[in-house]
């Protein structure tokens, strides 16, 4: 089986499960809420649920749509082994074991922009860098850590000037 069209997105590798995840959408790419999983050992793609429709936000299923682009906008959290996906409606959390979106918070302290908000997994959790971008996205610049258990973004202390985030 092959994965659906996933241009405008990011692929994340989960070393503990030996799996690759893609969640993407926008323009001609798959705008559904499907998070695709590639199983390296058996060379197969799968999704954990029947994909839902389009809506630019949270769908009636409680899952995030992927009509917005996701390049570097979602990340694998090495602390909890879950995926953290900020988007236009808030932040969703995906559990690869359950193969389902398991958490959501509408509270997002940083100005989300689908072109320039960036996330990366760190030993302390997922960090987001957003704002001040060169593509007309909102400012100010924000640098925050997501606590999956509390479902909360916390600003990180920064010494010096944080460079503007660029697309």
pLDDT at 33: 78
pLDDT at 157: 84
Task: Report yes or no: 84 and 74 within 8 Å, Cβ to Cβ.
Answer: yes
Q: Which of 23, 14, 48 is nearest to 114 (CA)?
A: 23
What pTM does this model have?
Answer: 0.86
pLDDT at 18: 96
pLDDT at 53: 72
Cβ-based burial of 135 (10 A; exposed 0-12, middle 13-18, buried ≥19): exposed
Has residue 153 got a pLDDT over 90?
yes
Output the DSSP codes for 99-146: TEEEEEE----S---TTT-EEEEETTEEEEEESS-TTS---S-EEEEE
Could you tell me the CA-to-CA distances from 121 to 22, 28, 47, 79, 86 in Å, in that order?
15, 28, 22, 9, 13
Tell me what percent of the residues of the chain surpass a pLDDT of 70: 73
**pLDDT tens profile 9-44:** 778 999 999 999 988 766 666 667 788 899 999 999
Task: Report yes or no: 144 and 127 within 8 Å, Cβ to Cβ.
Answer: yes
Has residue 1 got a pLDDT over 70?
no
**pLDDT tens profile 74-93:** 899 999 999 998 887 889 99
């Amino acid at each position: 089986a092959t994965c659906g069209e996933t241009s405008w997105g990011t692929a994340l590798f989960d070393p503990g499960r030996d799996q690759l995840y893609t969640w993407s959408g926008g323009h001609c790419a798959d705008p559904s809420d499907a998070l695709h999983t590639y199983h390296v050992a058996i060379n197969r793609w799968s999704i954990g649920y029947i994909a839902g429709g389009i809506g630019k936000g949270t769908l009636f299923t409680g899952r995030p749509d992927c009509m917005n682009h996701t390049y570097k906008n979602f990340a694998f959290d090495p602390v909890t082994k879950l995926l953290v996906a900020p988007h236009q409606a808030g932040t969703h959390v995906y559990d690869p074991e359950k193969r389902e979106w398991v958490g959501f918070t509408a509270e997002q302290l940083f100005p989300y922009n689908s072109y320039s908000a960036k996330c990366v997994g760190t030993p302390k959790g997922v960090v987001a860098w957003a704002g001040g971008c060169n593509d007309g996205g909102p400012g100010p610049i924000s640098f925050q850590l997501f606590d999956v258990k509390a479902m909360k973004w916390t600003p990180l202390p920064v010494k010096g000037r944080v460079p503007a985030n660029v697309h």
